[in-house]
Amino acid sequence: MQGYIIRRILYACISLFLLSITIFCLVRITGDPAVLMAEPGAKEEDLQAIRREFGLDKPLVIQYVTFVKSVARGDFGKSIYYRTPAFDLYLQRLPASLLLASVAMTISLILGIPIGILSAVRVNTWFDNFGKIFAILGLSLPSFWVGLMLILTLSVYLNWLPSSGAESWKSIIMPAFSLGWVFAAAHMRLARSAMLEVLGSEYIKLARIKGLSERLVLLKHAFKNAVIPVLTLAGINLVLMVNVAVVVESVFAWPGIGRLLYEGISFRDFPVVQTTVLMGGLMIVFVNLIVDILYAYIDPRIRYGT
């Protein structure tokens, strides 16, 4: 078990190293940032001064080492556009993203679990077919188009909800729905297959033989077991949601980290871009590590298998 955990942690570190070096190199092979930072028509001395200030005049390897050192201290560099620490900007935007992701996750679970469970209970009926259509639509509709259609109906025609910004609780409904929509389909699929598996198991048969009412069998015995894998996936997806909301956040002008990334790219503000993508990768690697370890803890076959 210990060996397994150590190996997993080592793999996670390798992932992070590859991640950081990929992002670091990619961001630096495009154009000269000093030119973008300086006033138009700045003199060569001024450019040199900026390069020295941000450490851009040193070789790439040294730049990378300083970069890793400062990241380890929690210093992600200063935003070129806002002139404030990039990590502070990230932390400022994070609560909005977390809020959006939690609401989106709630919506996706409220939609996904009941539809998935009911599809499994009423397998091969019209409801199951409806569930299949729901699942495939969820995978086929781009989230930004769902957002646009929501704006068109709920803001433009019905005038119920504001189309952008984050002023009141009403603002979060449409972005959360567009973001949750895609995940609802994934959760529905998993809930359905988990419930089907549970319903075919021995203990459900036993519960039925015992003469329990169908209601009790489904709600007390089957439902709880079928929901476990869905909630596990939801935990991973919550982290993913924070990091894939770029498009939805830019459609609804939601002030989260997705929008920060988008702004960073538009302004060529690469400390910000670097921070956002790196933190996203960090979160995902970390969550995957925890899931791996938890699974190994629960299921001995995994820790002895590898």
Q: How far is the CB of 152 from another protein (least distance, A)?
A: 6
State the minimum distance, in angstroms, from the CB of residue 220 to another protein. 29
Only one of the segments 74-82, 84-92, 148-156, 165-173 lies at the binding site for another protein (rule: CB under 8 A); that segment is 148-156
Q: Does 260 bind another protein (CB under 8 A)?
A: no
Q: What is the DSSP string of 185-242?
A: HHHHHHHHHHHHHHHTSHHHHHHHHTT--HHHIIIIIIIHHHHHHHHHHHHHHHHHHH
Closest CA to 223 of 205, 203, 199, 254: 199
Stretch that binds another protein, among 14-22, 77-85, 89-97, 118-126 (CB under 8 A): 14-22
Quote the least distance from Cβ 206 to another protein, whole Å: 25
Choose the stretch contacting another protein; rule: CB under 8 A; options: 13-21, 38-46, 86-94, 223-231. 13-21
CA atoms within 13 A on the CB side of 90: 24
Binding another protein (rule: CB under 8 A), the pick from 5, 38, 98, 148 is 148
Backbone angles phi, psi at 78, to 5 degrees: -95, 140
Could you give the residue ranges of the DSSP H alpha helices within the chain?
A: 2-28, 33-37, 44-53, 60-72, 86-121, 126-140, 143-150, 173-199, 202-209, 214-216, 224-244, 246-252, 257-266, 270-298, 300-305
Radius of gyration of the chain (CA): 24
Question: Tokens 């991640």 — which residue?
Answer: 19
- What residues contact 275, with CB distance under 8 A and at least 6 apart? 76, 77, 86, 87, 89, 90
Least Å distance, CB 216 to another protein, is 30
Smallest distance, another protein to C-beta of residue 228, A? 23
Given the complex with another protein, which of 26 and 206 has the nearer CB atom? 26
The answer to whether the CB of 248 falls within 8 A of the CB of 178 is yes
User: Is 228 a residue that touches another protein (CB under 8 A)?
Assistant: no
- Number of residues interacting with another protein: please give it, by CB under 8 A: 49
CA dihedral 300, 301, 305, 306 (to 10 degrees): -50
| 247 interacts with another protein by CB under 8 A | yes
- Residue from 1, 6, 9, 26 touching another protein (CB under 8 A): that is 26
Token pair listed for 105:
């996750």
Site string for another protein, 107-146 (x = CB under 8 A): -----------------------------xx-xxxx-xx-
CB of 151 closer than 8 Å to CB of 80: no
**Of 217, 138, 145, 224, residue with least CA distance to 183:** 138
Beta carbon nearer to another protein, 154 or 195? 154
Q: Which of residues 154-173 bind another protein (CB under 8 A)?
A: 155-157, 163
- Asked whether position 206 contacts another protein by CB under 8 A, the answer is no
**11 or 82, CB closer to another protein?**
11
Task: Decide if residue 251 touches another protein (CB under 8 A).
Answer: yes
Give the CA angle between residues 201, 204, 207 to the nearest 5°: 150
- Give me the residues that bind another protein (CB under 8 A), please: 11, 14-19, 22-23, 26-27, 29-30, 136-137, 139-142, 144-145, 148-149, 151-152, 155-157, 163, 240, 243-244, 246-247, 250-251, 258, 261-262, 265-266, 273, 276-277, 280-281, 284-285, 288
